[in-house]
Structure 1
Amino acid sequence: MQDCDEAKRPLGSQLHALRGVLDGLGALIFTKDRHGIYTYANQRFCETLGTSLEAIIGRSSADFFDADTAGRLQSDDRQVLETGCRISHRELRLSKDNHEQRCYLAVKAPVFDADGHISGLSGVLIDITEHARTEQQLRENQQLLMMVLDNVDGFVFMKGPDRRYRYVNRAFADLFLRSAEAVVGQDDNALMPAEDAHRIREIDDKVFATGVPIAVEEQITDGQGQLRHWWVKKLLLHGHGDALLGFATDITELKAAEEELKRSEARFRVLFEASHEALVVFDEAHLIDCNQSTLDLLGVSSREAFRSLTASMLAPRFQPCGGVSSKLAARHMEAARRNGHHQLEWTVQRHDNQARIPVEVTLSALELDGRPALLATIRDLTERKRYEEQIHQLAYYDALTGLPNRRLFFDRLAQSLARSQRSGRHGAIIYLDLDNFKPLNDRHGHRAGDLLLQEVASRLSACLREEDTVARLGGDEFAVLLAQIDDGQPDSQRDATLQHARDVAERIRDALAQPYVLAMDKGDAPTEQVEHHCSASVGVTLFPPCEMDGEAMLRRADAAMYAAKAAGRNQIRFAED
């Protein structure tokens, strides 16, 4: 009996040592009997389940794992126990207590008794949860990368040293009407004409030979036979068997737009240069470009000389309205940028002789090289202004004498009457008709009469102040408007106006009564001197600060004039109040 105890003592020590080894392993180790009941578990297995060895032995998988996990484990156990074969696979285990799911590499093998019969099974579990998570993350990242590459607006590809494709994204494959799988393993000769493939091969060879990245434009023929333009960057990836990685963008539409832009710019340049109107492109600080018509209008020798100037050098300091040119120009440019277009009248100053030219300017806002700019279309208004002045002269001035005509006289009279009503001050109208005028026409002709009327106009103007108006109303009838007579206090201003009007009327009567010497041009014959004596009958009326129209005022003066004629001519008469 003592010998038996002594024999058991080394065996117990060996078992204890073996369990110590198994507990020290990082793997989870267990054994089960033929009914799936745990008969042993190492320390790591117990720690994973969060319990003791005593609590595990005699219990089954269903006591520690959820029903799905327990079902799978029991199925694996039966397979080993029934076939006697070892199995190895990944398995997921969900703990019933903390609901934590772990992934294990599981190896299960049958255990045989002394008679060679299966008495149970042993299992070894290696926790590969973190490894599995890393693999899953890598798969997800790879899927995400593939999705991104397949949806990127461009072409991505990889070639090996044999110049065959190792990878292409979906856009690349679609370009050649193939699947990505059908392209991988092929070279460019299988995808496109030989000429295209040869050009691409030369670029690829250079990248492989030098290892230097290359960005270049390539032309290829796609699966539909259409010529496409690519902008492609190629670089060498070391550590991947020296693979060539390429990123390409289809610039076919951009190239077509560039060509159209070139044609459009050529057409614009032809129109720009052919325009008879001056065209100027400028921005806030610089004169950028102009056509030949601009150089001609502004007296500048060349475009280079024009670009060296500033806008302020091509305009007088003040515009006709009195505004400072630089400030007005800033407001006009701001209006053009705000509204897109703006039209104005302006006065430019030639660079060569400083002559001033009236122009009409149309400003159009545009963008030049990504910066705001303006296009000025400039039309010379010199002829139009001359015509407008001629029209104005014909409309408001007497063609023979150059004096204001009846229309302009009444316009100024209306203004004077309005001022008189506001200020309470008087003004005066002098109406006169020439005496002894008809005999001159009858004896020497209308040319002599015209010369006399011109001399009368000159003498009348010499008798008046600058602010007064003298007009020819028709024939040999003239009218004088004396306005803005400010002599005297308001209560005595009427008398002052009356005296002033009398003095002016006397000067006029005396001036017109002087002899007239008229030089009659006889063509090839010597000029004939014709002397004529002519006087004037003069009627005067004041216009008081009360409501009275111009026609009525002129009729009062006319009536006074006829009273002067009736009194023997060469007389002055005042209208009665």
Structure 2
Amino acid sequence: MNTGPDISPSPQASFAVVLEASEEWLIDRILAIARQRNYIRYTSTLREAWRLSIASLSEQLLGALAICPEIPELSPDTDFAASPGAAFAVEEARRHRARGIDLSLFLGLMKYYRQSYVDLVDERSEVLEDAQWCRRFVDRFFDRIEICFCAAWAEGGEDERIDEMRGANRHLANEKNKYLTIFESLAPPVILLDTEGRVDNLNFAAARLFRKSAIPGSAYYGGENEQGVFAWLEEELEAFLPGEGTDLVLEKSLEDGDHELVFEVRLQRMLDVSGKFTGIAVTLNDITARKASERAVRERDSQYHALFENNHSVMLLIDPASGAIVDANPAACTFYGYDHAALTAMNIDQVNTLDREELRIELERARGEEKRVFHFRHRRCDGEVRDVEVFSGPIRVRGRGLLYSIVHDVTERRRLQDEIWHQANYDALTGLPNRSLFFDRLGQAIAQARRNGSKGALLFIDLDHFKAVNDTHGHAGGDQLLREAARRLAACVRQSDTVARMGGDEFTVLLAEAAEEEAVEEACRRILQQLSRPFEVSGQEARVSGAVGIALFPLHGEDPAVLLQRADMAMYTAKEKGRNGVWLSGIPT
């Protein structure tokens, strides 16, 4: 589906595009190798550290691609100090040597970094202009990096290495102190357990709760055995430790001198970057006040009347079996617009807009305490419908089992939430769905296609010559053109399809259930025709065109990010082949 001239990108250009789009792939690849070869024992357990390594290497490789028109071969006269990445290699030598890393360990892992980039070339060979050239470039680039690294490593004398180690140790000490300061300052009690359930550390709040300690850090530096303190957790730990769950929440009552405290206890399994279980973090959240409040609500039978009548919140007492409104406070009468006699003669289904069966189910859930917070729409005497949040639960009043309901008018809050949601999911300039909402709809379309065995298409569109419009008419003129372009794009597709703005002058179109390739082609023709028509900008004529890249699902994959990447690359191909054209992504092998 090519409507432009045949212009092939250079190997450097095609490789650069792949590199810039493949950071996550490279991170996953090197992590998989590090786990398989056990390098994970000697390296960081944080994914972000691996991301930084890949980002640094890719930056150096992209720089080399930009300045080396040919493969940087080696020779006896090569000035390695001037090689691409030389400064990077020297800095890496200094950093790793200071950390006490063995040279052979570093070089071994570096071989697998090289392998990850070679594997990327093999994985993306169908979109690379010359995969063999790219492999050789990767090999020579890493050869130069490793030679520079070894030379820098060998240059440092013993005194320099000792100074580096001292600096690294000072840094580690500062990091440890920072961790301890934060850990000890946490308000909730926190206990860290090892893989056997033994205490590794506990913060000041936990130590004070269990040992009355007034010395922050005493658990860390004292190293006392705290196992006996947590006998209250032994049964749950015994079940949680060998299981596969990552999170467990339970309630516990603990003695604090003469007082009983109620805690929400959360157990979280700690996993390192390799997925290895390293221990359990136990956090205690004091919910004593909340539990006391709940008990007070259940026990207030004799005192409810005064509180009920004088409360400024809308309050109702409802018979859960029949739905009859048994009582209503003055605030409720004011809110609904009925007097007390009229309101207490009504059934809740005359106020609630749910149908009777749905409402009956919700009343049962409230009576059984399966649910306490509800969101309804209530109709007032004047017919106005308001959004309400209802806190409801069982109560006994003069021996009768009823439901108390506290009603809050949240109409304005819901309006603001809807407005915020719209702002978060729609482009402010064009009114189209933004990147976030587009990815959500693409994921749904892929899932539906998988269920139904149907097909779909993702179009990536970039406006040609848009910069010239901005330069000529200013950003206000550019914005005017973008709004009109968005309107035209939306008019080119079905109502069930999605047009989104990804940013700048880039748009995407999701053609859900596009069974025939001819339908996709027809949509692309309409889009190109509409974008090629003159635009009126600030009272003057402006012209742009479009480049369209296409990825089909499930043909080109079922991962939203991969599909977007393929459509993006196809769009760039369309631009390189003459603009105002369409390009279909290559079929993956």
TM-score range (shorter-chain normalised) is: 0.3 to 0.5
Which of the two has greater strand per residue? 1
Q: Which of structures 1 and 2 has the larger relative contact order (alpha carbons within 8 angstroms, sep 6+)?
A: 2
Normalised to the residue count of structure 2, the TM-score between the two structures is 0.45
